Amino acid sequence: MEDDAQPPVGGHAGVVEDVRLQKVLARVGYGSRRVCDDLIAAGRVLVNGEVAVLGRRVDPETALIEVDGAPIGVRPGLVHYLLNKPAGVVTTADDPRGRPTVVGLVPAEPRVFPVGRLDADTEGLLLLTNDGELAHRLTHPSYGVEKEYVAEVEGTPSRAALRMLREGVELDDGMTEPAKASLMDPSVVRLTIHEGRNRQVRRMCAEVGHPVTRLVRVRVGPIADRSLAPGAWRELTVGELRSLQQAVATKPDR
């Protein structure tokens, strides 16, 4: 094992070597390695729910590490916002066409970036953060984080159309992965996907003959909030952040 191996902030596929826990903590800002050893010795650090001992090595890509009960992503300076994006707002920091942006709807400092993207005409839940590692995992397809959408569509999808949505639809960039699809109302589909291709839900629905007339994202992984008004944002609770961290702690086998 190579103790000086860089912990893969990017979450690469392939073999990941274990790294000393004090080193992982030091790299994410808990202080010098000595200070981090003191944290471990004081029993303040848990790895996958168990108190860590000095000298412990971890796979930084998969271990759930907590300091004083908070996942290491909650270290000072990191913020995690949940925004209910209204239609007409673009998912970028700057829009050359001068349209309102999601970044303009949350506090300017510290600077945050959107986790993934919603089309300008899509509404609903969007995470914004300055936590690069968490954002990477939430958007990387290998972690397979579910995104749930409510799509108002033209016409009424048949059972066969819903089955196609579930089993996979041939799009111009390839087949879609299995999804969950059900009818909430004659022209309202609930669709849960774990990929994040461009305009994927709109293209899937159009491909089965039911173009989307309105699209709302209602859940990202474990995070849902039916009471957040359009345009409003709030910080994630510690419990929500913990459940998000758990959702991306390991890569599912597919």
What is the binding site for ligand URA (CB under 6 A)?
118-119, 122, 199-202, 215
Cα–Cα dist 205/14, whole Å: 34
User: How many Å apart are CA 114 and CA 132, to the nearest integer?
Assistant: 10
Task: Identify which of residues 75 and 194 has a Cβ nearer to ligand URA in the complex.
Answer: 194
In sequence order, what DSSP letters do the residues of 107-158 get, joined into one string? -SSS--EESS---TT-EEEEEEES-HHHHHHHH-GGG---EEEEEEESS---
As a whole number of angstroms, the distance between CA 133 and CA 113 comes to 12
Q: How far is the CB of 149 from ligand URA (least distance, A)?
A: 6
Q: Determine how many CB atoms are found less than 10 A away from the CB of residue 82.
A: 22
Distance of CA 162 to the CA centre of its chain: 26
Q: Supply the minimum distance, in Å, between the C-beta of residue 122 and ligand URA.
A: 3
SS (H, E, C) 62-82: CCCEEECCEEHHHCCCCCEEE
* Options 59, 119, 121, 225, the catalytic residue: 119
Judged by beta carbon, residue 201 or residue 244, the one nearer ligand URA is 201
Residue linked to tokens 């907590």: 66
Q: How far is the CB of 163 from ligand URA (least distance, A)?
A: 20
Q: Is 119 a catalytic residue?
A: yes
* Cα angle 180, 177, 220; round to 5: 55
Smaller CB separation from ligand URA, 36 or 153 = 153
What letter would DSSP give residue 101?
Answer: B
Instruction: Report, in Å, the least distance between residue 238 CB and ligand URA.
Output: 28
Shortest Å, Cβ 129 to ligand URA: 18
Residue number, 120 or 228, with CB nearest to ligand URA: 120
Catalytic residues: 119
